[in-house]
Structure formats: C-alpha cells, structure tokens
Amino acid sequence: MPSAISERFDVLVIGGGPAGIAAAVRAAESGVGVGIVDDNPAFGGQIWRGKSEDEQPREAARWMRRLSESRITKLTGLRVFHQPETGVLLAEKNENLCELRYRSLVIATGARERFLPFSGWTLPNVMGAGGLQAMVKGGLPIRGKRVVVAGTGPLLLAVAAYLRKHGAVIPAICEQASWGSLAKFAGALWRHPAKVARGFRLKGELGTVPFAASSWPFAAEGKEKLESVTISRNGKTEKIQCDYLACGFHLVPNVELALLLGCGVENGCVKVNEWQRTTVENIYCAGEPTGIGGVELALTEGQIAGLVAAERVKEAREFFRERKKGRHFADLLDQTFRLRRDLAELPTPETLVCRCEDVTYSRLKACSSWREAKLHTRCGMGPCQGRVCGPAVEFLFQWTPESVRPPIFPARVENLAAVRATAPQNRSL
C-alpha cells in the first residue's frame, strides 16, 4: 500500500498559472486556509514559469512575490487523477498518494495547444510551439537552429520572439488566419492599449522575420527526423529547410477535471455564472477553462473566484468591469483565429491521428462517432487520454467527447488499488 498524505483546506486551487495564483492569493489574503496544487515543479504556468526575475513582466513578478509571501500551502509536482467522493480529490506525487479535502474548490487548469494532423507531423523535431519554448527554457540548445513557427494565434509571435532571442533562426512564421481577419483584429484593439504595446514590442523583437497570413504546414519531410516543411501560402506550396517545426493551432481549454466533477461544459468551456461559480455547488472555475482570453482575463477571473470562494463577494464585484473588457478581447481572439475548414483536408488516409494507439485517418473516417471510434480503434484511450487526438477529431469530424472517466491522468496501479480498497462496495473506478 503506498504511503498516503492528507491535507484539508477551506479553499483548494488546482492549477498554478496566473488564474490559480490570483485565486489562491486573494483567498489567502481574506484569512482562510488555502492550498494550491500544480503538477509542474514550479508555479507560473506556461506563460510565467521558468523565467528569471529580469525576464518576468512586472505584473508577473508582483503576483509571484505575493504568492511566495502569502500563507498558502504550496504543493508542486502533484497530479490530481480522481474524485472518490464529494469534497475530496486524490492526487499522486512520485510514489505517494495524496488526499486533498476542501470546502470550496477553484479549478484553474489552464489550456493546452491544439494539434492538427498532417503528413509528417509525427516526425522527431515537429513539436508544439509552446512545447518547444518549454524545452528551450529547460535547456534545449536552439542557437543557430532553423525553426519554422506555424499554426494560429498570438502564441506564435511570442514563441518566435523567444526562440529568436535565444539564437534561433526563424525563416518563416505561418499564420492560418487571413490578412483581412488580422486587420480587423488589429483595428479592434484600440480598447486594449496594453495589447497594442505588447504587439509593437514583439514586432520589434522579431525584426525582419517573414510573416505569412493564410499560410499553414502542408507536410513535414525527413528520413529519421525533420529536414524540411512544405507550407501552403495562398494556395501555393513552398518548401523550407529547417531543424524544427514549432506548430500549434491556438489553445484548447483543459476541462477534464471539471467534467469529472460534474460541472457543466458548453462549446468546450466550463460554464460559470457572474461569480465564476460552476454548475456544481462550491466549485468555481477561472482562466482558460472558461474560454481562451489571455493572462489579464485569467488574473481577473482568478481574483473573483478566490474572493467569492473566501466569501468576500462584495470585493469580487469590483472586478466585473475589468472582466467584461477581458471577455471582449476573448471574443476577438475566437473570431480572428477560428480554424478554417481547409485544415481538415490536410491528413492523408495513412496519416496518424491518434499517436498513442497508431490510429490512422482512414480508420477514423470509417466511424460515425467518438464512441464508435474508441470501441473500434482505441482512439483517445492511450496515455494522453485523448488530450492530443480529441481536439483534432472534434475539428476533423465534428465529434463531441461523450464522457470523462477516472483516472483523468495515468496513475500508478497501487494508487488505483488504494482507492478501490477504501471505496464503498458500490462505487467503482
């Protein structure tokens, strides 16, 4: 039997990115007992984690300092995988099983990159844009390497600027949105001056790096690893020699934990009311799981959720106007970077869609639903639990995932056995 650790909190926050940090800090400053959990070794999320104090934006440094100075139980490297009963979550760290009890819960599980399959996308060195950035933060040498950055969304520019700053050569940034959509987006940013300033700063950092709209990866080529990528630009193809392809088609909200807990989800996002409360009592949600809106909106929603969870409702209302402004930007993102249907034509019959179970596009095309695909091909049943192929098949075939079952992350057999041994006889995994 694995060793077990038990913790109890008035407010428990799952997720250590901007939304989770803001929720935990605000709740703790209200005087209640708070715990914050993240499955990474450090807090900050993809956007803040791994940066030195000199690299951190002023706002990020301020929130990280407030987190470190607050009386919060900070649990890193801990991955939640199951809810055995209401008000209790189970997580594991290495060989240890951890029981987390709470009165109120704030879900701030962030988002992940969306991947779309195309010929050669499984070659070594074809990576997610944010994934490659994270690896460079972790020490991957990138100086002198040629990196094509492709997909859609503001993340592309940020990643390209970061890689260039660390010595990479960027032969092209390929954005699938049209110049018309991007122009409308730029024209609507007058209400968000901070975004405009950030855009100009990124433009300065990128210098003369070529940027192509209505452009996306058509195929990746190489023998043992990536050697070149063929891109489609305004209907014409062009081959670019490169060492890495950093590719991501915007972001997908991480809603698996919310679904497991019974929270309502609509259009791929967790449903919340004006207080960031989900459809389940005492469970709140903030940040990207409620809709992709950027760090400012995540911080605002996190503060509202943390204050309401700590029963400081009046103070939470003061952030409503700021949240409305942030949601306007979220709507702009959705309209501008919505995926065009041309991208659904990229896979060939032999292209792998589910990498974990080696399921090809042709096998999935023979199915009529996500459930049928799982039953006949095991698509979505591998180690990633559908986190990569799920959003892809949703886009390719308009299938909707039908359920989430524990464990929502791969867990050690002895920890699953421990859950089984302590569960009532009529409850099963």
Domain that holds residue 387: 348-397
| End residue of a domain, out of 249, 272, 290 | 249
CA 113, 117, 123, 125 torsion-angle sign: negative
Is residue 30 exposed (0-12), middle (13-18) or buried (19+ Cβ within 10 Å)? middle
- Do 316 and 354 lie in a common domain? no
Q: Is 140 helix (H, G, I), strand (E, B) or coil?
A: coil
Q: What is the pTM of this model?
A: 0.91
Q: What are phi and psi of 45, to 5 degrees?
A: 70, 180
Domain with residue 308: its CATH number is 3.50.50.60
pLDDT in tens, 209-263: 999 999 999 999 999 999 999 999 988 999 999 999 999 999 999 999 999 999 9
Compute the distance between CA of residue 129 and CA of residue 113 in angstroms, rounded to an integer: 8
In a domain, 415, yes or no: no
- Do 119 and 233 lie in a common domain? yes
In a domain, 17, yes or no: yes
What would the mean pLDDT of 5-14 be, rounded to a whole number? 94
**Which among 177, 176, 178, 173 has a CA at the least distance from the CA of 229?**
173
Percent of the chain with pLDDT over 90: 76
Compute the distance between CA of residue 21 and CA of residue 23 in angstroms, rounded to an integer: 5
Residue 406 pLDDT more than 90? no
- Do 390 and 314 lie in a common domain? no
Residue 1 pLDDT more than 70? no
**Which among 64, 129, 75, 152 has a CA at the least distance from the CA of 337?**
152
- Do 190 and 122 lie in a common domain? yes
What would the mean pLDDT of 354-380 be, rounded to a whole number? 94
Percent of the chain with pLDDT over 70: 95
- Do 227 and 238 lie in a common domain? yes
- Do 290 and 372 lie in a common domain? no
What the block records as the tokens of 258 is 């919310």
What the block records as the tokens of 308 is 């309401």
Q: Which of 218-227, 370-379, 415-424 shows the lowest per-residue confidence on average (mean pLDDT)?
A: 415-424
In a domain, 419, yes or no: no
- Do 209 and 302 lie in a common domain? no
pLDDT for 89 equals 95
Query: How far are the Cα atoms of 61, 70, 165, 278, 293 from residue 65, in angstroms, in the given order?
Result: 6, 9, 26, 29, 24
| End residue of a domain, out of 228, 249, 270 | 249
- Do 242 and 291 lie in a common domain? no
In a domain, 340, yes or no: no
Chain mean pLDDT for the chain: 91
pLDDT in tens, 94-126: 778 999 999 999 999 999 999 999 999 999 999
pLDDT in tens, 389-400: 999 999 999 998
pLDDT for 427 equals 41
pLDDT in tens, 277-304: 999 999 999 999 999 999 999 999 999 9
- Do 40 and 105 lie in a common domain? yes
- Do 197 and 73 lie in a common domain? no
- Do 240 and 282 lie in a common domain? no
In a domain, 240, yes or no: yes
In a domain, 60, yes or no: yes
| End residue of a domain, out of 249, 275, 304 | 249
- Give the number of domains in the chain: 3
- Do 123 and 166 lie in a common domain? yes
In a domain, 343, yes or no: no
Strands 72-76 and 251-253: unpaired
In a domain, 424, yes or no: no
pLDDT-derived band at 361, boundaries 50, 70, 90: very high
pLDDT for 429 equals 40
| Preceding amide of 171 cis, omega within 30 | no
Strands 173-175 and 147-152: parallel
pLDDT-derived band at 52, boundaries 50, 70, 90: low
